[in-house]
Amino acid sequence: MTTPPAPARDTAPTPTRAASVYVHAPFCARRCFYCDFAVSVRRAGGAEEWLEALRGEVALLEREGLFELADALDTLYVGGGTPSLLGPDAMSGLADVLGRERLGATGFEWTAEANPESLTPDVAASWCAAGVNRISLGLQTFHEPALRWMGRLHGSEGPVAAVRAARDAGIGNVSVDLIFGLPASLGRSWDEDLGRALDLGVPHVSLYGLTVEYGTPLGRAVREGRETPVDEEQYRAEFLRAAEVLVGAGYEHYEVSNFALPGFRSRHNAVYWHGGPYLGLGNGAHAYAPPVRRWNHRDWTEYRESVGAGASPEAEREHLTAQATRLERVWLGLRTSEGVAIGSLPRRADALLGRWVAAGLAARAGDAIRLTTEGWLLLDELTVDLDQVLGADADLGDGPHTA
Ligand code: SF4
């Protein structure tokens, strides 16, 4: 008697289950002086065409086979662009596109970004009713001349009204973005901005250092000598001062750019920092189904037309090698206050880590090595140094360490 052959195995790759989703909102009422994000300028509206495009992209997911939406999402992050510009009904529409039944799990975090001038009481109340439970507010500064220089549309009282609108609607979990490294010629007081941000009483603060991107009006102005970027010393001093003030006020400096009161860390961003899978929807959105990272067409019209024609909006993808994944994990780990497990690094890194510790750029925390605030200022340089050690060694995690 012969044994019947085993049935052929289905070799189609299993789609990655996405429990964390990023959705890009493409529109801004005006492009800021320094911005090179994937935005399309529009005074208001656009929610219907945005939702229609997203509906099309979600329908394509099944055919592509790379992702499937989890039955219950852990985190949803709507960034932009300016999501609050889409009007009060956009988040409810998004809930329909993704499936309302996916959005109610215990601990589910739904963040939406807003700018002060468009986070009206009406928008905040509708967002809360739709299920948004965290708002990230693009405050940047309270300094009127700096706001005008940046091309922002709100005044110094805008953030106060926006935070009040969020709270009155029932959303107390508000994060504010503050920008540092503005040109000294603007005369902005960083201490005053930090103080006024603290006065808002919000549980989360994110810092952004102004960078001069080549293709922006600011980049052009710097090349033509009309603007002078901030010098390194001021940049460094403002970052350190922010850390001092915020930590002194009880915030945990839990990632290079992020501070939270206990219990208010961003759960969505933690997925990025820990190398977890996430789906990205919308123009320019990135997605990660380890080891594949892919991103959509950056241009709104190209993205929209692609989805409208029933074609994937994917612009490109890359397959990360095991070594690239490992290096990325180290870089991401060094961004966080948890740091990197020393046992995951080769022994040949010990001398380098020892030098960091001696220079006050890193510290041991149990079995991990983490950067200090001074070290975070040099994050990119330190990562390059470590990359040179790790890149030459395929056998990571190879025994006891001395660092
Ligand atoms: S609001 Fe944000 S996304 Fe929009 S133009 Fe300004 S910086 Fe860019």
- Tens of pLDDT, residue by residue over 180-195, are 999 999 999 999 999 9
Structure tokens at 148: 């005008």
In the predicted structure, residue 8 carries a pLDDT above the cut 80: no
CA pair distance 162, 135, nearest whole angstrom: 10
> pLDDT tens digit string along 58-71?
999 988 889 999 99
Beta strands 258-260; 204-209: pairing state: antiparallel
Using most ligand atoms within 8 A of CB, pick from 33, 34, 37, 118 the residue to mutate for ligand 1: 37
What are the structural domains, with CATH classification, of the chain? Answer: 16-273 (3.20.20.70), 322-391 (no CATH)
Q: Which residues contact 72 (CB under 8 A, 6 or more apart)?
A: 19, 102, 104, 105, 108
CA pair distance 138, 77, nearest whole angstrom: 15
Q: At CA 109, angle to CA 106 and CA 112, rounded to 5?
A: 150
Q: Which residues contact 262 (CB under 8 A, 6 or more apart)?
A: 250, 252
Using most ligand atoms within 8 A of CB, pick from 24, 34, 41, 82 the residue to mutate for ligand 1: 82
Ligand 1 atom closest to Cα of residue 36: 8
Structure tokens at 159: 């953030």
pLDDT band for position 392 (50/70/90)? low
Residue 88, preceding peptide bond in cis (omega within 30° of 0): no
CA of 33 to the centre of ligand 1 (A): 9
Amino acid 387: pLDDT = 85
- Tell me what percent of the residues of the chain surpass a pLDDT of 90: 80
CA of 81 to the centre of ligand 1 (A): 6
In the predicted structure, residue 36 carries a pLDDT above the cut 70: yes
Structure tokens at 57: 């992209």
HSE value, Cβ hemisphere, 13 Å, CA-based, for 301: 3
> pLDDT tens digit string along 304-357?
999 999 999 999 999 999 888 988 889 999 999 999 999 988 888 899 999 999
> pLDDT tens digit string along 180-236?
999 999 999 999 999 999 999 999 999 999 999 988 999 999 999 999 888 889 999
Q: Find the length of the chain.
A: 403
CA-proximal residue: ligand 1, atom 5 (nearest): 31
Q: By C-alpha distance, which of 361, 360, 397 is closest to 376?
A: 361
Amino acid 4: pLDDT = 43
Ligand 1 atom closest to Cα of residue 34: 7
Give the CA dihedral 79, 85, 88, 89, nearest 10 degrees: -70
CA of 133 to the centre of ligand 1 (A): 22
Using most ligand atoms within 8 A of CB, pick from 34, 35, 148 the residue to mutate for ligand 1: 35
Amino acid 44: pLDDT = 79
CA of 376 to the centre of ligand 1 (A): 25
Q: Do 30 and 153 touch, CB atoms closer than 8 A?
A: yes
111 DSSP 8-state letter? E
**Collapsing DSSP states into helix, strand and coil, what is residue 350?**
helix
Q: At CA 286, angle to CA 285 and CA 288, rounded to 5?
A: 150
